[in-house]
Amino acid sequence: MTHPNTASHRVVGSVYSTGQSAVTNPLPKATAAETAQVLAEVEFPTIAKGPIVRRPKVVAAVERLGLEARAVTRMQTMAEKYGRGPLMLAVPGQKMATVLDPDHVHRILEESPEPFATAETLKRHALKHFEPKVSLISEGSERARRRDANEKLLDHNHPIHRMAEQFMPAVREEAAALLEEVADNDDAAGQLNYDAYFNAWFRLVNRVVLGDSYRDDMELVELMETQRKRGNFAFLRPVNTEDRAEILERISQAVDKAEPGSLAAFMKQIEAAGDTETSRDENVQQVPQWLFAFDPAGMASYRGLALLAAHQDRLDAARYQIAEEAQAEAPMLPLLRATVLESLRLWATTPMILRETTREVEFEHGVMPAGTTVLIFAPFFHRDEKNLDFAHRFAPEVWDHQRTREEWPLVPFSGGPGICPGRHLVLLLTSNFMAEIVRQRSIELTSHELEPGNLPALLDNFSLEFQLSPR
Ligand code: HEM
């Protein structure tokens, strides 16, 4: 695994400090025409698909037109011309740069939030619609304590969340209910589509986050969706403060109810123990991010089922692991976890990781100005066939290799101090939910044909369908 632009020297912030400024030593800059191409081919499809909530018709069109592959090719062209970058884009009235070098991805993520703030302007405008105090768009000491609250509540350093055993009954029951519903479908017995999967997944999410009595509370899911649709338009739409207050009020009520086995109960417990520096309002404001982010987790696991259906040997191996861990209270299921990670590598649900510089930052080839929006386009690194022999195939084994991950930016959950604190919880719930399905059913992908050595640049989850039959 080599990168043409990766010199043997790894960058450490101050090593390159030469006292130059963004004026005396500017970074390379794309021409206006190149900038327009990057915006049209890389930025636009990401925004059009819906950064906060996906627009199914656009996702289908992007899949059909192969726009995701074009975006990667465009970035490769830029890297060939400009080397390590980062490359400043010629966007009128805005400072924007795109990252071309794998070492720079590591550096920027490691050096977040200072000088690479997670609270980037566009993200702030998008998320304020439903969670203005979420850690991701907070700064300074506020960010530190809100991030800390997320880490505690989501048990972010532990592959098995401390409440995992309490979550497992909900996982099994909701998967069983889904299988029953699919089997009883009069129109198409055994046919699994995304709507049914999404609804079952969110019944589980509601139970885990808010409590069992919220199982069928699709009103909150819909309220969230409406606000997320506003978030797609960031600052172009005014905030609906009434709906936002309603969401937060409902979450706060769930924390008061503290139903056993829910994260809401865990929050109340931590508050009572004085184990967090955050107020109730701040804690509650982290939860919309969880509800929002469980949506891509559903997509990733559903696409993971497609990977398994197209790779029967891996499916057999996954079933073997499921059987091996049948007695575990909260199974680890490494292959299913790696399947979800692969689904996210191949079809990143956060394709664009955004940062904003809080001051001038020196790179080897120039200085990035303060206030620059930094774009890390994950698929450029995840699907780089020039440097990764596994770029377009299902390779769950790469997630066992610490070195591969350290050398090359495989960053579906970001990295560094801003890494997704929910990642282990996502992998725990998705892997066990998928396990219940593949343990009890054989699965056949009926809507798409996946070519194992050449997986598509985007897989439209909304139109994926399976035929499930008893094993
Ligand atoms: C497939 C599912 C998910 C993916 C791919 C994902 C990915 C990410 C990424 C890439 C970031 C960093 C974003 C940025 O820097 O702008 C992030 C942040 C975050 N994620 Fe996730 N996430 C997922 C699900 C979840 C879930 C289910 C939760 C909570 C239960 C969660 C909680 C968070 C929080 C609180 C942050 C903000 C962290 C901070 O402020 O530093 N995520 N996630």
pLDDT of 139 above 50: yes
Atom of ligand 1 nearest to the CA of 430: 1
* Cβ of residue 136 lying under 6 Å from some atom of ligand 1: yes
Place of tokens 């699907």: 383
Helix (H/G/I), strand (E/B), else coil: 470? strand
Give the tokens for residue 435. 């396990």
First vs last Cα of the chain: how many Å apart?
A: 41
Percent of the chain topping pLDDT 90: 79
Residue nearest to atom 7 of ligand 1 (CA): 413
pLDDT of 18 above 80: no
pLDDT of 12 above 70: no
* Cβ of residue 82 lying under 6 Å from some atom of ligand 1: no
467 CA distance to ligand 1 centroid (A)? 31
The radius of gyration of the chain from alpha carbons, rounded to an integer in Å, stands at 22
157 CA distance to ligand 1 centroid (A)? 14
111-130 average pLDDT score: 92
* Cβ of residue 297 lying under 6 Å from some atom of ligand 1: yes
User: pLDDT, tens digit, for every residue of 63-91?
Assistant: 888 888 999 999 999 999 999 999 999 99
Mean pLDDT of the chain: 92
Atom of ligand 1 nearest to the CA of 118: 15
Higher pLDDT, 3 or 471: 471
* Cβ of residue 422 lying under 6 Å from some atom of ligand 1: yes
Concatenating the DSSP letter of every residue in 353-366 gives EEEEESS-EEETTE
Quote the CA–CA distance of 78 and 87 in Å, as a whole number. Answer: 8
* Cβ of residue 296 lying under 6 Å from some atom of ligand 1: yes
User: pLDDT, tens digit, for every residue of 258-304?
Assistant: 999 999 999 999 999 998 899 999 999 999 999 999 999 999 999 99
* Cβ of residue 425 lying under 6 Å from some atom of ligand 1: yes
70 CA distance to ligand 1 centroid (A)? 26
pLDDT of 330 above 90: yes
CA dihedral sign, ordered 299, 300, 306, 312: negative
What does the pLDDT read at residue 236?
Answer: 67
Helix (H/G/I), strand (E/B), else coil: 221? helix
pLDDT band at 17 (very low <50, low <70, confident <90, very high): low
Q: Identify which of 15-24, 31-40, 44-53, 64-73 has the greatest average pLDDT.
A: 31-40
Among the residue ranges 7-11, 81-85, 116-120, 407-411, the one predicted with the least confidence is 7-11
What does the pLDDT read at residue 34?
Answer: 97
For residues 68 and 43, the answer to whether their CB atoms sit within 8 Å is no
pLDDT of 11 above 60: no
| Alpha carbon of residue 151 to chain centroid | 16
Extents of the domains making up the chain = 13-87+112-365+414-470
Quote the CA–CA distance of 460 and 452 in Å, as a whole number. Answer: 17
Quote the CA–CA distance of 452 and 208 in Å, as a whole number. Answer: 34
280 CA distance to ligand 1 centroid (A)? 21
CATH number of the 13-87+112-365+414-470 domain:
1.10.630.10
For residues 42 and 91, the answer to whether their CB atoms sit within 8 Å is no
